Chain A
Amino acid sequence: MADQPTAFERFVQGILPENPVYRQLLGLCPTLAVSNGMKPALTMACSVAFVLLCANVVTSLIRNLLKPHLRIVVFTLTIATFVTIADRFLAAYLFQMSKTLGPYIPLIIVNCLIICRCEVCASKQSVFTAASDALGQALGFGLALSSIATVREIFGTGMFFGIRLLPSAWPDWVIMVLPPGAFITLGLLLGLVNWIGIVKSRRSVND
Chain B
Amino acid sequence: MESSIKNTNLFQAWLVLLLATVFGTTLAGVQTKLGPVIEANKINETMEKIPTLTLGEAQAEKMTEQGNALVIEPRLIEISKNGIKKFYTVYDAYYKDGTRAGFVAKASGQGYADKIELLLGLDADASTITGLFILDQKETPGLGNKVIEKHWRDQFLNQSSDKGLVVVKGKSEGSHEIGAVSGATISSKSVTGIVNRTIADIKHQLILPPVSENDKIKENK
A81, B23: Cβ atoms closer than 8 Å: yes
Is B140 interfacial (CB 8 A cutoff)?
A: yes
B149 to chain A, nearest CB (A): 14
Q: Which residues does chain A contribute within 8 Å of B42, judged by CB atoms? A: 95
Q: How many A residues, CB 8 Å from partner?
A: 25
B16 to chain A, nearest CB (A): 5
Q: Which residues does chain A contribute within 8 Å of B30, judged by CB atoms? A: 84-85, 88-89
| Stretch in A60-68, A139-147, A185-193 with 4+ CB within 8 Å of B | A60-68
Q: Complex: how many Å from CA A177 to CA B140?
A: 10
B16, A88: Cβ atoms closer than 8 Å: no
Given B23, B140, B142, which contacts A77 in the complex, CB threshold below 8 Å?
B23
Is A178 interfacial (CB 8 A cutoff)?
A: yes
B31, A88: Cβ atoms closer than 8 Å: yes
B26, A81: Cβ atoms closer than 8 Å: yes
Is B38 interfacial (CB 8 A cutoff)?
A: yes
Q: Which residues does chain B contribute within 8 Å of A70, judged by CB atoms? A: 12-13, 15-16
Q: Which residues does chain B contribute within 8 Å of A85, judged by CB atoms? A: 26-27, 30
B15, A88: Cβ atoms closer than 8 Å: no
| CB-contacts of A50-88 with B (<8 A) | 62, 65-67, 70, 73-74, 77-78, 80-81, 84-85, 88
- Main SS of chain A's interface residues? helix
Is A92 interfacial (CB 8 A cutoff)?
A: yes
Q: Which residues does chain B contribute within 8 Å of A88, judged by CB atoms? A: 30-31, 34-35, 38
A74, B15: Cβ atoms closer than 8 Å: yes
B37, A92: Cβ atoms closer than 8 Å: yes
Chain B interface size, under 10 / 10 to 19 / 20 to 34 / 35 or more: 20 to 34
A172's nearest neighbour on chain B, judged by CB, is: B142
A66, B15: Cβ atoms closer than 8 Å: yes
Interface string of B111-128 (1 = CB under 8 A from A): 000000000000000000
Q: Which residues does chain A contribute within 8 Å of B12, judged by CB atoms? A: 67, 70
- The residue among B15, B42, B140 with the most chain A CB atoms within 10 A of its own CB is B15
Q: Complex: how many Å from CA A74 to CA B136?
A: 37
B142, A74: Cβ atoms closer than 8 Å: no
Is A196 interfacial (CB 8 A cutoff)?
A: no
A71 to chain B, nearest CB (A): 10
Q: Complex: how many Å from CA A10 to CA B28?
A: 34
B12 to chain A, nearest CB (A): 6
| CB-contacts of B1-30 with A (<8 A) | 12-13, 15-16, 19-20, 23, 26-27, 30
Q: Which residues does chain B contribute within 8 Å of A93, judged by CB atoms? A: 37
A62, B15: Cβ atoms closer than 8 Å: yes
Is B41 interfacial (CB 8 A cutoff)?
A: yes
Is B209 interfacial (CB 8 A cutoff)?
A: no
Is A166 interfacial (CB 8 A cutoff)?
A: no
Q: Complex: how many Å from CA A85 to CA B35?
A: 11
Is B143 interfacial (CB 8 A cutoff)?
A: yes
Is B170 interfacial (CB 8 A cutoff)?
A: no
A176's nearest neighbour on chain B, judged by CB, is: B141
Q: Which residues does chain A contribute within 8 Å of B34, judged by CB atoms? A: 88-89, 91-92
Is B219 interfacial (CB 8 A cutoff)?
A: no
B141, A73: Cβ atoms closer than 8 Å: no
A81, B15: Cβ atoms closer than 8 Å: no
Given B19, B23, B142, which contacts A174 in the complex, CB threshold below 8 Å?
B142
A74, B19: Cβ atoms closer than 8 Å: yes
Interface pairs (5), CB distance under 8 Å = A84-B30, A89-B30, A92-B38, A95-B42, A174-B141
Given contacts A77-B20, A92-B38, A177-B141, 7 further A-B contacts (CB under 8 A): A70-B13, A70-B15, A77-B19, A81-B23, A93-B37, A174-B142, A177-B142
Report which A residues bind B (CB closer than 8 A).
Answer: 62, 65-67, 70, 73-74, 77-78, 80-81, 84-85, 88-89, 91-93, 95, 99, 156, 172, 174, 177-178
